């Protein structure tokens, strides 16, 4: 009887050239597990087959797909490029964090503030984001609403509580005289976005821009999106977030499910003293993995937590002293 294995399930483009095109984090993860004694295989991701049931004692690590059963974990970028999901339920609005309890008082403030400063230095000061941003600097009025479009995609359509066009109309109708700065998605710019931009052309107090998102967020009163990572990036600058869709960032934001909710949502976002620093530390490092820090001990914990038999997989219960992924 064959020993159970760790099966890493990837889309076809990541498997090309023997897995040379898979994300570097996945290579480090697979390499670390092999060095610890596990057999790790790279397989084409077949979501229907994965959801059909278990295959012996194997543990399935699946790129960007919620499997919803024991012995499976979902992988994916946790909004920012250096942080990674390894979650029993899924990623984004499907992750286990969506149902977890966030207690700011359980996160040491001094530690959280140091982490927020680190993030600010790495992302905001370096003008860096998951998607390429313009290098040219831009200035905006301050006190504005920063609205970010995402256009149509499977996760956005499943997450949203209303269409992007409905979100824009809702914000336009009640913004307390605040300027509205709108940025289309830098990579996903389709018919939905084109129609919205035509609608907004020439509207007083509305500026459409492709500027660096950190410039747009600087001085903003709040950020608005369906479920974009800009909500998290704004927290680095102390900008409150309002989401018009489901997200696992909701603990530190306001969510709008109906157009009538918007005026109170905006007021609540503006009047609340948000624990941004504590949330960033809790979400990025406690709920997810920081790829710039040792993480294999937490990988073993999560494999065991979903029913993986570490000994049968050839893995130790604890990392050998001095082991690094």
Report pLDDT digits (tens) over 264-284: 999 999 999 999 999 999 999
Instruction: Tell me the two tokens of residue 272.
Output: 């609340």
* Sequential DSSP letters for 8-42: EEE-HHHHHHHHTTS-HHHHHHHHHHHHHT--EEE
CB 150 within 8 A of CB 226: yes
pLDDT tens readout for residues 190-210: 899 999 999 999 999 999 999
DSSP element (H, E) containing 112: helix 109-119
**pLDDT beneath 70: ranges in the chain:** 1, 188
Question: Which contacts qualify for 305-308: CB closer than 8 Å, 24 or more apart?
Answer: 305/88, 306/59, 306/70, 306/71, 306/72, 306/73, 306/88, 307/70, 307/71, 308/4, 308/57, 308/59, 308/71
pLDDT of residue 187: 77
CB 30 within 8 A of CB 40: yes
CB 219 within 8 A of CB 143: yes
pLDDT of residue 323: 84
pTM above 0.85, yes or no: yes
Q: What does the alpha-carbon distance between residue 141 and residue 206 come to, in Å, rounded to a whole number?
A: 11
Provide the β-strand partners of residue 207. 181
CB 173 within 8 A of CB 200: no
Place of tokens 């977890």: 100
CB 210 within 8 A of CB 127: no
Please provide the distance, in angstroms rounded to a whole number, between the alpha carbons at the two ends of the chain.
29
Domains of the chain in start order, with CATH, are 6-78+288-305 (no CATH), 104-282 (3.40.50.2000)
pLDDT tens readout for residues 214-241: 999 999 999 999 999 999 999 999 999 9
């Amino acid at each position: 009887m064959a020993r159970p294995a760790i099966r890493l399930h990837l889309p076809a483009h990541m498997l090309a050239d023997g897995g040379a095109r898979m994300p570097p984090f996945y290579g480090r993860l697979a390499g670390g597990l092999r060095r610890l004694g596990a057999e790790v295989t790279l397989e084409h991701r077949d979501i229907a087959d994965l959801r059909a049931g278990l295959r012996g004692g194997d543990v399935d690590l699946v790129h960007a797909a919620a499997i919803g059963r024991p012995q499976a974990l979902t992988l994916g970028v946790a909004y920012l490029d250096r942080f990674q999901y390894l979650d029993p339920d899924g990623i984004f609005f499907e992750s286990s964090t969506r149902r977890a309890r966030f207690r700011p008082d359980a996160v040491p403030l001094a530690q959280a503030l140091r982490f927020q400063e680190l993030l600010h230095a790495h992302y905001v000061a370096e003008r860096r984001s998951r998607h390429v941003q313009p290098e040219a600097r831009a200035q905006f009025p301050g006190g504005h609403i920063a609205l970010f479009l995402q256009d149509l995609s499977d996760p956005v359509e499943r997450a949203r509580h209303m269409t992007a066009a409905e979100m824009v109309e809702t914000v336009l109708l009640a913004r307390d005289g605040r300027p509205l700065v709108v940025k289309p998605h830098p990579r996903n710019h389709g018919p939905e976005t084109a129609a919205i931009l035509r609608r907004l052309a020439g509207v007083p107090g509305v500026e459409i821009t492709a500027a660096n998102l950190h410039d747009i967020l600087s001085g903003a009163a709040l950020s608005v999106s369906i479920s974009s990572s800009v909500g998290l990036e704004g927290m680095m600058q102390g900008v409150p977030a309002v989401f018009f869709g489901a997200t696992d960032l909701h603990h530190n934001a306001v969510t709008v499910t109906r157009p009538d909710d918007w005026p109170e949502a905006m007021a609540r976002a503006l009047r609340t003293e948000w624990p941004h620093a504590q949330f960033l530390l809790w979400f990025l490092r406690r709920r997810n993995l920081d790829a710039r820090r040792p993480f294999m001990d937490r990988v073993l914990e999560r494999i065991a937590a979903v029913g993986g038999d570490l000994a049968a997989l050839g893995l130790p219960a604890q990392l050998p002293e001095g082991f690094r992924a």
